[in-house]
Amino acid sequence: MSDLFIIGASGTKAYRTAMAAISENISNASTTGYARRSATTGESGASTATMATYVSNANFGGTQVLSINRATDPYLDSTVRSTGMALGSASARLRWLTDAETALNDTGTGIGKLMAGMYQNMEKLAASPNDKSLRVTTIDSISRVTQAFNQTAGDLQNVSTGIATEARSSVESINASLSALADINNSLLRARPGTSAYAQLLDGRDSALAALSENLNVTISFGAHDSAEITYGGQALVTGNTATSVAVDTNANGTLAFSLADGTALGAPGSGKLGGYFSAASTVADRRADLDTLAAKFVTDLNTWHAQGLTDAGQAGGALLSGTTAATLATLITDPVDLATRSADGTLNGNLLTVTSALRGNGSVEQGWTGIITAHANLLASTKAESDTATSRNDQAVAARESVSGVDLDMEAADLLRIQQAYSASAKIIQVAKDVVDSILRIS
């Protein structure tokens, strides 16, 4: 008779644990990184024969919880980490390349449009070279182009600064994930597999791995007790309960440098958010260099053109501009009478008539600016397409994983009713055993 009590008690204990797992699922249905739990039960070890004369169908031990399982698929988890890494890179590049396009400003207040307006004013002045107001307008338009170079250089500098700030934030997240993984590895070695605590540690491990992969293209492997081993470029970042921190620095031209915290140089990240920041920083650095080259050419071309003309006083045209970079560009001439509008033979508008041939056309600053804008627009368009594709692939990967690891409330509710009935049946066994014992005692 004692077997009935043992069997009933084992059933209520096992199904209580199963109901607790279902309750945990329901309460964490919206928790990011949570993998659905289930309790695996099996015949109790008390029914195992220990004597040669044991008859297997004469002794029963009830049921017991063998393990608490997480509904996961290693392949789907790896796929989500991979797509999340690609999405992180594409999103970071798209964000900052869009900001760079805004900084380049190909609107009516940008370099290209203001330069076209400057040439139009020069053409108007060529038609009326003695018109003082047109001379003032021409000088002002030159000054506005100069200021546009200054503004664009400053805006691109701000983009570079913003990328560096975001990169440092990404590195902080990477180091936090590495440290968390080392702590989780240490706890996993101490925890017993198949328990709720162990499952919770694995959830934490996978969340840390997802956050790490989103930021950096690391290599992940698993060791004893499902501990995570992390390497990057052959350099171990997490081994057991030991984590190695990384760092990022900004070079003079705005590009980034990656290293261990102790200064050991590492290769530039190829993916993840940090890889996206490195790529965007390099692209913006190229744009800044192109802009400086264009500014230097603008100074040289305009000063050369002006020097070949004569002022109304018969003097050779002085330097119109100074500076060697877009940020240092400045207009030198402010007095209308200092404009060298005449040609060497004394024609009033002779020098102005050479503007098109000397300053515009193939190889001109105007054409160079168009080349910068076109190249950046093409890169931005391809990055946008890449981001859209990465988003779609990541959504599909997450959906596939959720179909395995996610919580379906309808299914959990059905399981809860089933387990509840089993629990009630086990409790009924105890009640029946009690009634039988009472009846026997009354007979005796």
pLDDT of 49 strictly over 70: no
Shared domain for 308 and 424, answered yes or no, is: no
Instruction: Identify the pLDDT of residue 163.
Output: 98
Cα 424 to chain centroid distance, Å, stands at 51
Element (H, E) at 152: helix 132-190
Tens of pLDDT, residues 179-224 = 999 999 999 999 999 999 999 999 999 999 999 999 999 999 999 8
Shared domain for 179 and 247, answered yes or no, is: yes
Average pLDDT of 70-75?
Answer: 94
Would residue 402 count as lying in a domain? no
CA distance 93 to 284: 11
Shared domain for 83 and 177, answered yes or no, is: yes
Would residue 401 count as lying in a domain? no
pLDDT of 444 strictly over 70: no
Tens of pLDDT, residues 301-315 = 999 999 999 999 999
Tens of pLDDT, residues 255-284 = 999 999 999 999 999 999 999 999 999 999
Q: How many domains does one find in the chain?
A: 2
Shared domain for 433 and 332, answered yes or no, is: no
Shared domain for 268 and 239, answered yes or no, is: yes
Write out the residue range of the structural domain in which residue 426 sits: 2-71+407-443
Would residue 400 count as lying in a domain? no
Shared domain for 277 and 319, answered yes or no, is: yes
Tens of pLDDT, residues 341-355 = 999 998 999 999 999
φ/ψ of 43, rounded to 5, equals -65, 140
Shared domain for 391 and 427, answered yes or no, is: no
Shared domain for 89 and 127, answered yes or no, is: yes
Shared domain for 260 and 160, answered yes or no, is: yes
Shared domain for 200 and 319, answered yes or no, is: yes
Tokens 């009846």 map to which residue? 439
Among 45-49, 131-135, 290-294, 312-316, the least confident range: 45-49
Instruction: Identify the pLDDT of residue 209.
Output: 97
Shared domain for 278 and 152, answered yes or no, is: yes
Would residue 89 count as lying in a domain? yes
Shared domain for 197 and 269, answered yes or no, is: yes
The CA distances from residue 399 to 80, 396, 404, in Å, are 9, 5, 9
CA distance 284 to 162: 11
Average pLDDT of 286-305?
Answer: 98
